[in-house]
């Protein structure tokens, strides 16, 4: 499926969102918890986690395990939720550091593999479904340093394009033994929140288009991926506005 560039539409919806601000403490809490569930479920589901959105809500809000579902799936939900809390704390900052990226991965992954959480991989990895080969483990630290050093230049782009490029660059380096996609989506959302945009969810139903856009970008063409992300941001902005209007009802 072809995705059009929606950066101008993103700007228009952002003006409507800004008109509802500032939000009060109750509204902020309601929106935060809504997107905690949505982002945790969708990001994990994109990677094969079997928990449904309702089950993810039960695990996070009630602390109840779901019968017949792998323990790892529960750990991924809890870990992602904790990384989401860090994401919200970091959103008040004006920049992104290597420590921030490692911290997001560490919180998401430490219940699954404590030794690898927040640490760069020491083994080569194969990305299934593509002929793309990520850097060797020995090259990862320098690649990440170069990536972080380039963030000030990237942030001069449109905020949505900037967020998309952060996501793309991180998964291209593939610095962790696992959890790269989820960390990239958290990083993308950190950039969006810092720019005043709402949390953006990539729906599992468009997983094939998402992967296809990533593959195109691995071949040197980032435009399909930026366009794809701009469409996801647009959909999330529409949902955010719907929620704001619901909260504002008299």
For CA atoms 186, 192, 196, 197, the dihedral sign is: negative
Longest dimension (CA), the chain: 59
- Short-list 249, 236, 191, 250, CA closest to 17: 236
Q: Are 5 and 24 within 8 A, CB to CB?
A: no
**What letter would DSSP give residue 197?**
P
In order of 106, 118, 125, 155, 181, the CA distances from 48 in angstroms are: 20, 21, 18, 31, 12
Residue 118: left (phi > 0), alpha (psi -120 to 50), or beta?
Answer: left
Both tokens assigned to 178: 């696992």
Tell me which of 105, 158, 174, 215 is the catalytic residue: 174
Question: How many CB atoms lie under 10 A from the CB of residue 135?
Answer: 18
Q: Give catalytic status of residue 174 as yes or no.
A: yes
Question: How many CB atoms lie under 10 A from the CB of residue 169?
Answer: 21
b/e map of 60-90 (b: 16 or more CB within 10 Å)? Answer: beeeeebeebeeebbbbbbbbbbbbebbbeb
Catalytic residue set: 174
């Amino acid at each position: 499926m072809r995705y059009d560039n929606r950066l101008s539409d993103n700007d228009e919806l952002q003006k409507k969102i800004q008109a509802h601000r500032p939000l009060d403490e109750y509204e902020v809490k309601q929106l935060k918890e809504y997107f905690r569930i949505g982002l945790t479920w969708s990001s994990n589901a994109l990677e094969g986690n079997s928990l449904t959105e309702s089950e993810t809500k039960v695990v996070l809000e009630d602390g109840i395990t779901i019968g017949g579902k792998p323990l790892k799936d529960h750990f991924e939900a809890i870990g992602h939720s904790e990384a989401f809390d860090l994401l919200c704390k970091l959103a008040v900052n004006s920049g992104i550091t290597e420590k921030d990226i490692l911290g997001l991965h560490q919180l998401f992954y430490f219940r699954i593999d404590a030794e690898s959480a927040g640490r760069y991989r020491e083994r080569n990895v194969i990305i299934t479904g593509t002929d793309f080969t990520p850097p060797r483990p020995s090259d990862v630290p320098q690649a990440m340093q170069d990536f972080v050093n380039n963030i000030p230049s990237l942030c001069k782009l449109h905020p949505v394009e900037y967020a998309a490029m952060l996501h793309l660059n991180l998964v291209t380096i593939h610095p962790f033994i696992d959890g790269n996609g989820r960390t990239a989506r958290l990083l993308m959302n950190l950039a969006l929140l810092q720019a005043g945009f709402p949390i953006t969810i990539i729906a599992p139903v468009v997983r094939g288009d998402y992967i296809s856009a990533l593959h195109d970008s691995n071949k040197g063409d980032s435009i399909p991926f930026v366009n794809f992300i701009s469409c996801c941001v647009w959909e999330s902005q529409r949902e955010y506005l719907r929620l704001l209007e619901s909260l504002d009802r008299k």
